[in-house]
Amino acid sequence: MPRYEVLSEAQLLEIDRGWKRILSEIGIQFDHPDALELFRKAGQRVEGDVVFLDPEFVTAMVAQAPSEFTLHGRNPARQMHVGGDWMAFAPVSGAPFSSRRGVRREASFADHVDLCKLCQVFDELDTPASLVCEPNDVPMDSRHLQIQRNVLTLTDKPYMGASISGLATADSIRMAEIVFGSREAIEARPVMFVIVNCNSPLRWDTRMLEAMMTCAAAGQAPMLTPFLLMGAMSPVAIGAALAQQTAEAFSALALCQLIRPGGPVIMGSFLSNTDMQSGSPGFGGPESALGLLCSGQIARRYNIPWRSGGGGLTSSPAVDAQAGYESFNTLNSAFLAGASVVMQSTGWLESGLVASFEKFIMDIEIVKMLQVQYTPIEIDLAFDAHQEVGHGGHFLGAAHTLERFRDCFYRPMLSTTENWDRWTRNGQKDAYTRASDLVDRTLERWERPSIDDGVLLELDEFVARRTTELGD
């Protein structure tokens, strides 16, 4: 289906002028000597820790990045195509709290396991990412090892490497080498992406740069993400935010291309607004939607894969009507914008602080709906059915209907069309309660994906050794 384009060519040119001016006149701060050295060698002007980037150099680096690539799952049938006309979906990522059957609490390792299982069961998700919630009961220093082990053993899809530090990213890559056979294997066929957030405005910090450079060097896909809440990390104007987002993402993209020419990269976007009354972030409103639509146009202009912030965003603290319409707004906008990777598609609640199991189910339903909704239509005039039924009759028993009734329409998983009497007999379960039931039933459907015993042993030995080394 076609994309929905809201910016005119003149407006796109204006935004182009904007990011070029930011890069060349204000520059980007890179808190890492290796990054500064790489840019210096590439002929860019470096003053202190600020790099002033030549727009022509940046444009050349962007053109050098692949317009599409594939991440390979442990299961060869699970591939994640990134870029081009593909859309891939990832669940909530990074939530410190979990919520299930009305209980909101610090997220735990058990929550992480169950959320990974949901990611494995639902074919709508191309990847579990990895940090579906923070397993707060696992010691911090070695937590990334347990998270990576979970996604590598409970799921068999392409996934996300750790990015809390360069060391954590290196550990992720080492674990991938164990599972996929060798460094050469994953360099030839990348298996993971790594989210790297900009310390917006206009600054990449040491920790993120180490993760980014480690990821790029290994031929995995860095997801270069300016996280912009207009009013806090960017000006309160969508044009300014888009120019800044492009400048920040492209500056990192250029660095990644210097490290590994032609290596896979994903332009990131996470653009919404600050609620200027409460000072809290606002997700799911018009600003989130416009951020998505505009970012898609910019990414297509440069023919590079891009991630949307969401998918599935809401500021609501409850899985209520607000969560329903805000989540739909961002997921639908991600479809209209043609996001290559829709992050935070399922389970995000309370501005991302909570991984909600019920919201996860609700968002899967929305993704299912939208996948049908944005499938190109085929025209069947069914003139014989009209001739058969004539005037004032009905089509329930028409031959055309009987041949097609099983799969002619979208069949909901969560939504109900029950009438009041039947709904009442069935306990007046609202969408939240029905989603709770579906969580339980879905977890029962999970099957452990097979893994070679020797590989599992080596993985566990690595995790044990590194856990000891990291001092937990």
SS3 of residue 223 by DSSP: strand
Q: By C-beta, is 178 or 339 nearer to a second copy?
A: 339
Helix axes 453-469, 166-180, angle to 10 degrees: 160
Using DSSP bridges, classify how beta strands 192-198 and 103-106 pair: parallel, antiparallel or unpaired: unpaired
Q: By C-beta, is 68 or 275 nearer to a second copy?
A: 275
Please report how close the Cβ of residue 149 comes to a second copy at its closest, in angstroms. 30
State the Cα–Cα distance between residues 442 and 446, nearest whole angstrom.
7
Please report how close the Cβ of residue 385 comes to a second copy at its closest, in angstroms. 4
Please report how close the Cβ of residue 132 comes to a second copy at its closest, in angstroms. 20
Please report how close the Cβ of residue 125 comes to a second copy at its closest, in angstroms. 18
State the Cα–Cα distance between residues 155 and 74, nearest whole angstrom.
8
Q: By C-beta, is 65 or 355 nearer to a second copy?
A: 355
Residues 6+ apart with CB under 8 A from 264: 65, 66, 69, 82, 190, 219, 220, 221, 305
In this structure, the number of other CB atoms found within 10 A of the CB of residue 66 comes to: 16
Please report how close the Cβ of residue 139 comes to a second copy at its closest, in angstroms. 25
Please say whether the dihedral angle defined by the alpha carbons of residues 270, 273, 279 and 281, taken in this order, is positive or negative. Answer: negative
Task: Measure the CA angle with vertex 267, ends 83 and 369; round to 5°.
Answer: 55
Q: By C-beta, is 392 or 471 nearer to a second copy?
A: 392
- Residues, the chain, total? 472
Q: By C-beta, is 191 or 198 nearer to a second copy?
A: 198
Tell me 69's DSSP state. Answer: E
Please report how close the Cβ of residue 276 comes to a second copy at its closest, in angstroms. 4
Q: By C-beta, is 67 or 371 nearer to a second copy?
A: 371
Closest by CA position to 144, among listed 207, 72, 81, 237 = 207
Closest by CA position to 448, among listed 183, 15, 113, 90 = 113
Q: By C-beta, is 394 or 444 nearer to a second copy?
A: 394
Q: By C-beta, is 316 or 340 nearer to a second copy?
A: 316
Q: By C-beta, is 77 or 379 nearer to a second copy?
A: 379
Please report how close the Cβ of residue 453 comes to a second copy at its closest, in angstroms. 43
Q: By C-beta, is 80 or 241 nearer to a second copy?
A: 241
Closest by CA position to 266, among listed 16, 80, 125 = 80
Q: What is the dihedral of CA 276, 279, 280, 283, to 10 degrees?
A: 20
DSSP-derived secondary structure for 296-363: HHHHHHHT--BEES-SS----SSSSHHHHHHHHHHHHHHHHHT-SEETT-SSEEGGGTEEEHHHHHHH
Q: By C-beta, is 128 or 291 nearer to a second copy?
A: 291
Q: Let me know: does 313 contact 272? Beta carbons within 8 Å.
A: yes
Please report how close the Cβ of residue 32 comes to a second copy at its closest, in angstroms. 14
Please report how close the Cβ of residue 104 comes to a second copy at its closest, in angstroms. 8
Please report how close the Cβ of residue 237 comes to a second copy at its closest, in angstroms. 4
> What are the tokens at 39?
């840019």
Q: By C-beta, is 17 or 448 nearer to a second copy?
A: 17
Helix-, strand-, coil-residue percentages of the chain, each rounded to 5: 50, 15, 40
**What phi, psi does 120 have (nearest 5°)?**
-70, -40
Please report how close the Cβ of residue 299 comes to a second copy at its closest, in angstroms. 17
**What phi, psi does 47 have (nearest 5°)?**
-125, 115
Contacts of residues 45-51 at CB distance under 8 Å and 24 or more positions apart, as own/partner, are: 51/27, 51/251
Please report how close the Cβ of residue 283 comes to a second copy at its closest, in angstroms. 8
